[in-house]
Amino acid sequence: MSCSNKQSISAQELAAASGMQRRLHGGDNVQSDHVLAAQNTFSEMKKRYTALSDDHLDLLFREPRTQYAWQDKEVSEDLLRTLYDLTKMTSTSVNSCPGRFVFLRSEESKERLRPTLTGNNVEKIMGAPVVTIIAHDNAFYERLDQLAPYADLKPMFVDKPAYCEATAFRNGTLQGAQLMMAARALGLDCGPMSGFNNQLVDEEFFAGTTVVSNFLCCLGYGDPSRIFQRLPRLEFNEACEFL
Ligand SMILES: Cc1cc2nc3c(=O)[nH]c(=O)nc-3n(C[C@H](O)[C@H](O)[C@H](O)COP(=O)(O)O)c2cc1C
């Protein structure tokens, strides 16, 4: 079997997958009970809610800050399960769900992380009630039978390591970002960190697997007395364009 290192798939593979998805999405006159129920659930939700309030937009976007110091306040296992239950519902390509999340809660598990941290990040990270390793499984396609049962999508990925890694990294990063948004929606604060040695983390936590680390995200309730001034952002005209 040939081993392709390209980061994309062929037009034929894409067309085949699109045809399968069209059937799943109710095209070709397929109107199964599952499709109708999904359409109904979505329509009802749109009737109940419009946009979030300005306060909620502050909570999620305008006012949250990266946290470097933490209150001595526990984050329960139940809350972390709720956090995952929100995160898992966000979108990934072909519903691949490659993100994997390791919540380090015990002192022993955080001590395993300590030698992988660099510079003054040690102090910022070790004091957090929970440190999440945001990772992704490069062999995510092994679960597609469960996640996309409408078609056999596995051949799109088998023996295409570069394509799998790009897909897993893209979607795993999105899931990590969504986890941060979900955490803030639940009243938690976040401290995302990439200043650590990914290879050491992979050896310590994911040896013998196809899972690799991406970034860390501390979770808990931040100490407001340790926040410094807000840094500027790019204005619309510096980052966006209309075509
Ligand atoms: C993926 C990611 C990695 C980061 N890595 C580090 C890090 O290694 N060390 C650090 O002190 N801050 C780190 N940060 C924090 C950023 O510097 C911070 O989010 C940015 O300055 C904006 O601050 P604000 O969120 O308080 O507005 C990271 C943030 C993100 C999103």
Q: Is residue 119 situated within a structural domain? A: yes
Rounded-to-integer distance, Cα 61 and Cα 183, Å:
12
Same domain for 214 and 119: yes
Q: Residues 13, 114: one domain?
A: no
> Residue 67 Cα, ligand 1 centroid: separation in angstroms?
9
Contacts of 154 (CB under 8 A, 6+ apart): 141, 142, 144, 145
Beta strands per DSSP E along the chain: 99-104, 130-137, 189-193, 211-220
Q: Which atom of ligand 1 is nearest to the CA of 193?
A: 5
What is the per-residue pLDDT for 32? 87
Q: Output the pLDDT for position 20.
A: 66
- Atom 20, ligand 1: residue with shortest CA distance: 66
Q: Is residue 233 part of a domain?
A: no
pLDDT of residue 1: 34
Shared domain for 143 and 63, answered yes or no, is yes
65 CB near ligand 1 (under 6 Å): yes
193 ligand 1 Cβ < 6 A: yes
Chain-wide mean pLDDT for the chain? 92
Residue 131 and residue 29 share a domain: no
Are 67 and 162 in a shared domain? yes
With respect to residue 242, please indicate whether it lies within any of the assigned structural domains. Answer: no
173 and 87 inside one domain? yes
Domain count, the chain: 2
Residue numbers of the domain that contains 14: 8-50
Q: What's the gap in Å between 217 CA and the centre of ligand 1?
A: 10
**Residue 85, SS3 per DSSP:** helix
Tens digit of pLDDT for each residue in 117-172? 999 999 999 999 999 999 999 999 999 999 999 899 999 999 999 999 999 999 99
Please check whether residues 195 and 135 belong to one and the same domain.
yes
SS (H, E, C) 95-133: HCCCEEEEEECCHHHHHHHHHHECCCHHHHHHCCCEEEE
Question: What CATH number is associated with residue 123?
Answer: 3.40.109.10
Say whether both 68 and 130 belong to one domain: yes
Q: Worst-scoring range by mean pLDDT, 4-13, 92-101, 107-116, 190-199?
A: 4-13
- The stretches of 49-76 forming alpha helices (DSSP H) are 54-57
Locate the ligand 1 atom nearest the alpha carbon of residue 180 and give its number: 31
- Do 38 and 57 fall into the same domain? no
Q: Mean pLDDT lowest for which of 22-31, 207-216, 233-242?
A: 22-31
31 and 60 assigned to the same domain:
no
Cβ–ligand 1 contact at 195 (below 6 Å): yes
Residue 137: strand, helix, or coil: strand
Closest residue by Cα to atom 5, ligand 1, is 193
- Whether 5 shows a pLDDT value over 60: the answer reads no
34 and 138 co-located in one domain: no
20-74 pLDDT, tens digit each: 666 666 555 556 899 999 999 999 999 998 899 999 999 999 999 999 999 999 9
